A and B are shown apart, each in its own frame.
Chain A
Amino acid sequence: MAERRSADRDGDLPVYLARPGTADQLPRQKYGGLFCNVEGAYESKTIDFDALTVGQRSSRSPRATNREELKPSKHQTNFPSSHSEREAKDTVQIKHAFEKEAPQHLDKSERLLIKGGRIVNDDQSFYADIYIEDGVIKQIGDNLIVPGGVKTIEADGKMVIPGGIDIHTHLQMPFRGTSTVDDFSQGTKAALAGGTTMIVDHVIPEPGSSLVEAFERWREWADEKACCDYSLHVDITHWNDSIKQEVLSLIKEKGVNSFQVYMAYKDLYQMSNSELYEIFTFLGEHGGIAQVHAENGEIIAEEQNRMLEMGITGPEGHVLSRPEELEAEAVFRAVTIGSQTNCPLYVTRVMSKSAADIISQARKKGNVVFGEPITASLGTDGTHYWSKNWAKAASFVTSPPLSPDPTTPDYLNTLLASGDLSVVGSAHCTFSVAQKAIGKDDFTQIPEGVNGAEERMSVIWDKAVVTGKMDENMFVAVTSTNAAKILNLYPRKGRIAVGSDSDLVIWDTDATRTITAKTHHSAAEYNVFEGMELRGAPMLVVCQGKIVLEDGNLHATAGTGRFIPCSPYPDFAYKRVKARKQLAILKAVPRGMYDGPVSEFSPMSRGGTPSASTRTSPTKAPARNFYQSGFTLSGPEEAPIRPAGRRIVVPPGGRSNITSLS
């Protein structure tokens, strides 16, 4: 269904997007964007004025001819090249100054020059060359002076974008004695193949176990296997005083700034409102980002029982027991708690229209909240849960579920384009069909998760940019820059600028590929986007200064990925929060003491039968306190010591007869 729809749209490809040098209007050239130009980079160089005019940026003939040649035909053309007799399969060529350097040793090359690309950042696009050394972008501009022996990549006017950051993955996630089929090696390979050069994985500690230990375990797995840079979120699966200390040490020492809490998974991960309040307050004070899995777990548990009682045991029960309302409700609640505690909120997996609406309304009201749709919610819908093929239906099981409303992907793409939703994750969490079959007689047992790391960037390009909803700069923002900002990694990641990490992608806007489980890089034997035709694909991926994807071949090495520590208080989220903290100080009204009579009342009995105590205060400990936890936030709440004595002597405004009404 969805695949066919996208195929129909093939005709209305906005050509101007793909054609550099024709309709591109960028008179201004600010090299390096955020940073200053490299000193001396332009000394003793002829300024190429032609490069500043629209449409023809270089006077160097060979490339100019190439481009001329290129215009009528799209890619897959042979073109004459004065440098190389090779028949280029793609428009990107890699030349070697020294013939001896064989192209096989790609990963050894530490110096790279990307020539003639159009650099697309989240704020602007411009034509410039990029010189990379030691995994860092050293120079940006025209006619760069580079040392000899540099490998040159001819981008030929293609888009050069910062490598994608997949802010939500579950690689090598343990599940009941097994683990997801994509481990850090397999998963990051899939990510790289899709143009994503950094992933942020979720550490899920067992309830009751130590967060730091779990974090170290994940670090070990990832350091051993990851092929690209990574960072980690830590999920808070239970809450007490020692966890508080662990969270603090993770923020201060371990480089974790985002923590996920669950509003679903009753009796397992689910947090009560008061716990959420405490966690949010704590994170807000220490500069963390509170991520929430927003679904109302209480109602889900009830609905699941109802479904099972009705005899619905297949995957359709999953979506029936988790209607989108429950997602919207939880998002609303999370937003409320976030705004009460003045803590930035990040909603993971926005799967439905109504949840997205709540986020965009909250943002309009000024709340600091970020929404993350995932590849699956942007690319497909929940109609497949009713598939007659159990294995197919089960492969779509994830939480919150995909919405059965087929207009959802379109709607989410629109909100993404308008900036109401901020980043796109993949929530890549793949289980084999055999693993999914654990729940063949009971949908509540089906392990949850869909693929999407590899398809993430292409899905957005195809569904949002090609359809004209989004421009290329916004594309970079939602796939990379915003994530970097939220994680406080910007501008190291998420931008092509001097000094940034050299994670970049040459994006082919015209490439078309059909997604199928046969060719994807994930180890799963299904793909939820099976058969979908997507336009836009990475042509070349540079990760840590090395070419890892070229001509469709991956040259990734497991274990090369580094852990990137994130620091707290990201400006993107905390600037507003800090300013509000200064404003939001509450003050008591100075009054004279009430000196009238006080009614006799029976003191509230604790524990005993509360015979006659209606309408008492909620802060008193009752007979059945469901949420009692071992600590309070603000010390013992019973007797705040106040300088009450002073007030009687000279109350402001003179002594008033306090018992009478005005």
Chain B
Amino acid sequence: MSGTGYQGKKNIPHLTSERLLIKGGRVVNDDQSLYADVYVEDGIIKQVGENLIVPGGVKVIEANGCKVIPGGIDVNTCLHKPYLGTPPVDDFYQGTKAALAGGTTMIIDHVTPQPGDSLLEAFEKWQEAADKKSCCDYSLHVDIPHWHEGVKEELDQLVQEKGINSFQVYMAYKGLFQMPDSQLYEAFSFLKELGAVVLVHAENGDLIAQEQSKILGMGITGPEGHPLSRPEELEAEAVFRAITLGNRVNCPVYITKVMSKSAADIVTNARKKGSVVFGEPITASLATDGSHYWSKNWAKAAAYVTSPPLSPDPTTPDHLHSLLACGDLQVVGSGHCAYSTFQKAIGKDNFTLIPEGTNGVEERMGFVWDKAVAMGKMDENQFVAVTSTNAAKIFNLYPRKGRIAVGSDADIVIWDPDKIKTITTKAQQSALEYNIFEGMECRGGPVYVVSQGRIVFEEGKLQVQQGTGRFISRKPFPDIAYQRIKYRNKVMSKQGVSRGMYDGPVYDIPATPKYITPAPSAKTSPTTHQPPPIRNLHQSNFSLSGAQIDDNIPRRSGHRIVAPPGGRSNITSLG
């Protein structure tokens, strides 16, 4: 197949080889493929082309016609997310090892602070853990568990100083992370001003809570209760709502974990209508389905528990692959969040307590190749786009990541399209004792993986070092998301109609009696200065942008009376 040799003097057979030449491969980017050699120095691609002039003592990798593709970027991992005090079994070391073994050379992990925690502190905690352990480059998304005035400052700081440009909000997890629509609106508006990408966990948490108590009440406590209480409709509904919010605020929306056909269809329709929305299916939703929740083996059934749940419809993976191939879904994540069976068993008597998460970081690229490219749904360029380039573009890493070009980072994978591998727990890099893809055969896999200019995976062997991963900071306003937004901002500004003042009779409303039973006041408008109603469901003790209720805003109605455009009209008569 392929082999390595040393050109010139054979005296530097060292792992820290800083110079690499990849010969005879087919370089595949998201836009084109060509036969070319790639020369790497100091972790950066220096030359791409044929008959390169390279210095002596360079390590040469013979690609032998295999694909040379940009290393994968896994945009959704949770390698440091504790559940009730216990960390996942795959930490940054185990997790990034697994990623590299699967051809992924960069991960973006979720920072998940608790409601009430400081985002900055949580971010620093995650960064510290990752700097110590990560074997490949990484970046971080920050989840916003809870919206209040103080968060704004932290967000601003994270964007301006820390190099974070993506934040996740939750529409599910009622009473914990869930935000009501008005907070989402505020969050979207604020994040848009910062130029960040809003990631949305889209499920209707209110309805889930209702369904969960219903299902527990029926005596269903096993993992099958998980998909039963989270039917795919609830996912579709939330996706629709998130997109509506995004449209109103004119803010790009990124849907994490698209798990069902109906949710994917909503994303597709919205894109057709011109909404700036991105959809991310994950390895699990692309390779398996939710029928396993009904497995008689509790541990097996529990292993599949993730949110939104895998759809029990077995045609879902196929449908998602089709949409991925045609560009309606853009990015593949893994949603890798590994809890051992022992940890999953926390919920053995109550499915709502089962820690959520599936594996997938190692299998991610393989399954996309196997189920989409090898099946003829997708071409190799689109494969590169969905596994790497689109992610780099959306999160503003492009062209440093996600492309094989002069000047880009030397994160390169040599991909053998014919390699066949059977997924088993024994052979996996993850520390889990199970694998939800157990026994599946997968065509296509990496032969060599080059990360930061070093060969880290070669002939099935990993050679990694903890702590070599760098934090990659990202700038706000990624073009792929924000270019359209900027133009729309200009076009969409609204104007009032300039009219003469209404000078007819005005019905006299009695001053609203405060705290006396407001007897006859039906159908008034939502922002009126009503006394606080008896049950204000959304009242919280903070307000977002100062005094929200529009009482003190001086309206410039005065100068209109003087000379209304078009002369003074008789305003009371209809005509």
- Residues of chain A within 8 A of B214, CB atoms compared: 633-634
- Residues of chain A within 8 A of B530, CB atoms compared: 267-268
Q: Report if A615-B224 is in contact (Cβ < 8 Å); known contacts: A307-B494, A390-B500, A632-B213.
A: no
Q: Report if A627-B174 is in contact (Cβ < 8 Å); known contacts: A305-B548, A614-B84, A662-B297.
A: yes
- Residues of chain B within 8 A of A364, CB atoms compared: none
Say yes or no: B555 contacts A313, CB within 8 Å: yes
Residue from A174, A302, A624 in contact with B520 in the complex, judged by beta carbons closer than 8 Å: A174
Q: Report if A596-B345 is in contact (Cβ < 8 Å); known contacts: A173-B522, A298-B185.
A: yes
Question: Once the chains are docked, how many angstroms separate the CA of A309 from the CA of B549?
Answer: 10
- Residues of chain A within 8 A of B509, CB atoms compared: 176-178, 438
B116 at the interface (CB under 8 A from A): yes
Residue from A305, A444, A642 in contact with B528 in the complex, judged by beta carbons closer than 8 Å: A444
Q: Report if A640-B557 is in contact (Cβ < 8 Å); known contacts: A298-B185, A601-B86, A627-B174.
A: no
Lowest 6 A-B CB distances belong to which pairs? A634-B217, A622-B175, A617-B352, A298-B181, A273-B206, A312-B496
User: Would you give the shortest CB distance from A427 to chain B, in whole angstroms?
Assistant: 11
Question: Once the chains are docked, how many angstroms separate the CA of A437 from the CA of B434?
Answer: 69
Using an 8 Å CB-CB cutoff, how does the interface string of B484-527 with A read, 1 for contact, 0 for none? 00000000001111011110111101101000011111111111
Question: Once the chains are docked, how many angstroms separate the CA of A596 from the CA of B505?
Answer: 79
B150 at the interface (CB under 8 A from A): no
User: Would you give the shortest CB distance from B433 to chain A, in whole angstroms?
Assistant: 8
- Residues of chain A within 8 A of B540, CB atoms compared: 624, 626
- Residues of chain B within 8 A of A337, CB atoms compared: 207
Using an 8 Å CB-CB cutoff, how does the interface string of A327-347 with B read, 1 for contact, 0 for none? 011001100110110000000
Question: Once the chains are docked, how many angstroms separate the CA of A392 from the CA of B214?
Answer: 51
Q: Select the stretch in A42-50, A134-142, A493-501, A585-593 that faces chain B.
A: A585-593
Q: Report if A296-B497 is in contact (Cβ < 8 Å); known contacts: A438-B507, A598-B342, A640-B219.
A: no
Q: Report if A323-B438 is in contact (Cβ < 8 Å); known contacts: A299-B181, A336-B236, A391-B502.
A: no
Say yes or no: A640 contacts B217, CB within 8 Å: yes
A61 at the interface (CB under 8 A from B): no
Say yes or no: A208 contacts B342, CB within 8 Å: no
**Contact residues, A296-323 vs B (CB, 8 A):** 296-305, 307-314, 316-317, 320, 323
Besides A598-B346, A621-B175, 16 more A-B contacts (Cβ < 8 Å) are A176-B520, A272-B180, A298-B182, A304-B526, A317-B496, A332-B240, A336-B234, A429-B523, A445-B528, A589-B294, A596-B341, A612-B85, A613-B85, A619-B212, A622-B174, A635-B217
Question: Once the chains are docked, how many angstroms separate the CA of A328 from the CA of B556?
Answer: 34
Question: Once the chains are docked, how many angstroms separate the CA of A455 from the CA of B234?
Answer: 40
B162 at the interface (CB under 8 A from A): no
A432 at the interface (CB under 8 A from B): yes
Can you list 27 A-B pairs, Cβ within 8 angstroms, ordered by A? A207-B535, A268-B524, A298-B181, A305-B548, A308-B555, A320-B494, A333-B240, A336-B233, A389-B571, A434-B507, A444-B525, A444-B526, A588-B218, A594-B298, A600-B86, A601-B85, A601-B346, A614-B114, A615-B112, A616-B176, A622-B174, A626-B537, A635-B217, A637-B216, A640-B217, A644-B349, A656-B297
Say yes or no: A302 contacts B521, CB within 8 Å: no
A623 at the interface (CB under 8 A from B): yes
Say yes or no: A434 contacts B505, CB within 8 Å: yes
- Residues of chain A within 8 A of B520, CB atoms compared: 174-179
Say yes or no: B525 contacts A207, CB within 8 Å: no
A17 at the interface (CB under 8 A from B): no
Say yes or no: A611 contacts B522, CB within 8 Å: no
A602 at the interface (CB under 8 A from B): yes
- Residues of chain B within 8 A of A603, CB atoms compared: 84
- Residues of chain B within 8 A of A314, CB atoms compared: 496-497, 499
Q: Report if A448-B84 is in contact (Cβ < 8 Å); known contacts: A207-B534, A267-B536, A633-B210.
A: no
User: Would you give the shortest CB distance from B2 to chain A, in whole angstroms?
Assistant: 35
A54 at the interface (CB under 8 A from B): no
Q: Report if A658-B298 is in contact (Cβ < 8 Å); known contacts: A177-B520, A204-B523.
A: yes
Say yes or no: A610 contacts B114, CB within 8 Å: yes
User: Would you give the shortest CB distance from B424 to chain A, in whole angstroms?
Assistant: 11
Say yes or no: B522 contacts A526, CB within 8 Å: no
Say yes or no: A440 contacts B507, CB within 8 Å: no
Say yes or no: B506 contacts A299, CB within 8 Å: no
- Residues of chain B within 8 A of A313, CB atoms compared: 496, 555, 557
- Residues of chain A within 8 A of B245, CB atoms compared: 299
Using an 8 Å CB-CB cutoff, how does the interface string of B520-564 with A read, 1 for contact, 0 for none? 111111111010111111101000000011100101110000000
Q: Report if A388-B497 is in contact (Cβ < 8 Å); known contacts: A208-B533, A586-B220, A597-B342.
A: yes
Using an 8 Å CB-CB cutoff, how does the interface string of A389-422 with B read, 1 for contact, 0 for none? 1111101000000000000000000000000000
Q: Which residues of B contact A (CB under 8 A)?
A: 81-86, 112, 114-116, 146, 172-176, 178, 180-182, 185-186, 189, 204-222, 224-225, 228, 231, 233-234, 236-237, 240-241, 244-245, 247-248, 294-301, 303, 340-343, 345-346, 348-350, 352-353, 355-356, 425, 433-434, 438, 494-497, 499-502, 504-507, 509-510, 512, 517-528, 530, 532-538, 540, 548-550, 553, 555-557, 566, 569, 571-575
User: Would you give the shortest CB distance from A377 to chain B, in whole angstroms?
Assistant: 18
A266 at the interface (CB under 8 A from B): yes
Say yes or no: B299 contacts A614, CB within 8 Å: no
Question: Once the chains are docked, how many angstroms separate the CA of A234 from the CA of B24?
Answer: 77
A212 at the interface (CB under 8 A from B): no
User: Would you give the shortest CB distance from A563 to chain B, in whole angstroms?
Assistant: 21
- Residues of chain A within 8 A of B220, CB atoms compared: 586-588
Chain A binding surface SS class: loop
Say yes or no: A618 contacts B208, CB within 8 Å: yes
Say yes or no: A618 contacts B178, CB within 8 Å: yes
Residue from B219, B505, B526, B548 in contact with A300 in the complex, judged by beta carbons closer than 8 Å: B526
Say yes or no: B114 contacts A613, CB within 8 Å: yes
- Residues of chain A within 8 A of B241, CB atoms compared: 296, 329, 332-333
User: Would you give the shortest CB distance from A62 to chain B, in whole angstroms?
Assistant: 48
Question: Once the chains are docked, how many angstroms separate the CA of A599 from the CA of B540?
Answer: 36
**Contact residues, A378-395 vs B (CB, 8 A):** 386-393, 395
Residue from A207, A609, A660 in contact with B533 in the complex, judged by beta carbons closer than 8 Å: A207
User: Would you give the shortest CB distance from B268 to chain A, in whole angstroms?
Assistant: 14
User: Would you give the shortest CB distance from B111 to chain A, in whole angstroms?
Assistant: 11
Q: Report if A591-B297 is in contact (Cβ < 8 Å); known contacts: A308-B553, A586-B215, A599-B346.
A: yes
Say yes or no: B228 contacts A441, CB within 8 Å: no
Question: Once the chains are docked, how many angstroms separate the CA of A317 from the CA of B525?
Answer: 13
A79 at the interface (CB under 8 A from B): no
Question: Can you name the residue of chain B whose Cβ is closest to the Cβ of A658?
Answer: B298
Say yes or no: A274 contacts B341, CB within 8 Å: no
Question: Can you name the residue of chain B whose Cβ is closest to the Cβ of A315?
Answer: B497
- Residues of chain B within 8 A of A634, CB atoms compared: 213-214, 216-218
Question: Can you name the residue of chain A whose Cβ is closest to the Cβ of B337?
Answer: A615
Q: Report if A336-B526 is in contact (Cβ < 8 Å); known contacts: A589-B224, A589-B294, A623-B115.
A: no
- Residues of chain B within 8 A of A392, CB atoms compared: 574-575
Say yes or no: A624 contacts B526, CB within 8 Å: no
Say yes or no: A658 contacts B574, CB within 8 Å: no
Say yes or no: B213 contacts A619, CB within 8 Å: yes
User: Would you give the shortest CB distance from A354 to chain B, in whole angstroms?
Assistant: 9
Using an 8 Å CB-CB cutoff, how does the interface string of A227-245 with B read, 1 for contact, 0 for none? 0000000000010000000
Question: Once the chains are docked, how many angstroms separate the CA of A296 from the CA of B248?
Answer: 12
**Contact residues, A75-94 vs B (CB, 8 A):** none
Say yes or no: B84 contacts A588, CB within 8 Å: no
A148 at the interface (CB under 8 A from B): no
Say yes or no: A604 contacts B84, CB within 8 Å: yes
Say yes or no: B84 contacts A626, CB within 8 Å: no
Question: Once the chains are docked, how many angstroms separate the CA of A632 from the CA of B218?
Answer: 14
A571 at the interface (CB under 8 A from B): no
Question: Once the chains are docked, how many angstroms separate the CA of A446 from the CA of B506?
Answer: 11
User: Would you give the shortest CB distance from A298 to chain B, in whole angstroms?
Assistant: 3
Q: Report if A612-B84 is in contact (Cβ < 8 Å); known contacts: A175-B524, A274-B209, A389-B569.
A: yes
Q: Report if A624-B175 is in contact (Cβ < 8 Å); known contacts: A336-B207, A389-B574.
A: yes
Residue from B210, B233, B534 in contact with A274 in the complex, judged by beta carbons closer than 8 Å: B210
Q: Report if A616-B525 is in contact (Cβ < 8 Å); known contacts: A588-B219, A588-B224, A596-B299.
A: no
